[in-house]
Amino acid sequence: MIPMSSQKTVVVGMSGGVDSSVSALLLKEQGYNVIGMFMKNWDETDENGVCPATRDFEDVVRVCDQISIPYYSVNFVKEYWDNVFSHFIEELKQGHTPNPDILCNREIKFKVMLDKALQLGADFLATGHYCRNYLAESHTQLLKGLDPGKDQSYFLYAISQRALHRALFPIGNLQKSEVREIARKHGLSTSEKKIVRVSVLLVKETLNSF
């Protein structure tokens, strides 16, 4: 569900990857007032002493400059630790297999980041998830993305109706190959980039410590 613009403001959660880059581009082309927002959730360095988040933010800056939109960087490390990581550890200790992506979407992206977007005067929060939403009579429905190999609706099943009603998923009707082609056509610097999610690093590091 992509509402008509009429100069509505939308904050796009940008990871530095191709999906969020194309999401921002498409929304701008549709006439929205677009603001990029990069969130840092984890303090970590790689084997060379470089923080991956720093590199990802540099990619966000390049794309925002390319499509001429303003951007912000926000630090949600504490919120991520308190509401995602701590719960993740406790679940592991109990022999469960928690999914940090589901928690992050519910507690960080579509709660803390949504609140930040609204504080900036945004009408909507958009992400590069492969899913869709539909405004029914009494509620907003979460629908699968049209690319069966990339559908991410499962990771968003726990977000609130409040968040889902404010959410835009610009690439939910596209195939991944189409998203990359759009990025190439517009010369976006992230067109060939592949993202390693924080949650993947989190799981690997945590399991190694058990």
Residue 21: burial class (beta carbons within 10 Å; 0-12, 13-18, 19+): buried
Tokens standing for residue 21: 């880059």
Is 23 within the bounds of a domain? yes
Q: What is the pLDDT of residue 127?
A: 98
Is 147 within the bounds of a domain? yes
Summarize pLDDT for 94-130 with one digit per residue, the tens: 988 888 899 999 999 999 999 999 999 999 999 999 9
Nearest-5° Cα angle at 132, 130 to 134: 175
Crossing angle of helices 176-185 and 18-29, in 10° steps, is: 70
Beta bridge partners of 140: 135
Q: What is the CATH number of the domain that holds 40?
A: 3.40.50.620
Is 132 within the bounds of a domain? yes
Is 4 within the bounds of a domain? no
Is 2 within the bounds of a domain? no
Is 42 within the bounds of a domain? yes
Q: Whole-angstrom Cα distance, residue 70 to residue 203? A: 33
Is 88 within the bounds of a domain? yes
Could you tell me which of 52, 62, 76 has the C-alpha nearest to residue 20?
62
Q: How many domains does the chain have?
A: 1
Backbone angles phi, psi at 132, to 5 degrees: -140, 165
Q: What is the pLDDT of residue 139?
A: 94
β-strands 124-126, 9-13 pairing: parallel
Summarize pLDDT for 138-160 with one digit per residue, the tens: 899 999 999 999 999 999 999 99
Summarize pLDDT for 156-204 with one digit per residue, the tens: 999 999 999 999 999 999 999 999 999 999 999 999 988 665 555 555 5
Q: What is the pLDDT of residue 47?
A: 47
Is 3 within the bounds of a domain? no
Q: Whole-angstrom Cα distance, residue 133 to residue 205? A: 34
Summarize pLDDT for 11-66 with one digit per residue, the tens: 999 999 999 999 999 999 999 999 999 999 887 654 445 567 889 999 999 999 99
How many C-beta neighbours within 10 Å does residue 55 have? Answer: 12
Q: What is the pLDDT of residue 183?
A: 98
Concatenated DSSP letters of 97-130: ---HHHHHIIIIIIIIIHHHHHHTT-SEEE---S
* Structural domain boundaries, residue 128: 9-209
Query: pTM score, two decimals?
Result: 0.89
- Specify the higher pLDDT residue, 207 or 114: 114
Q: What is the pLDDT of residue 196?
A: 61
Q: Whole-angstrom Cα distance, residue 167 to residue 10? A: 9
Q: What is the pLDDT of residue 209?
A: 55
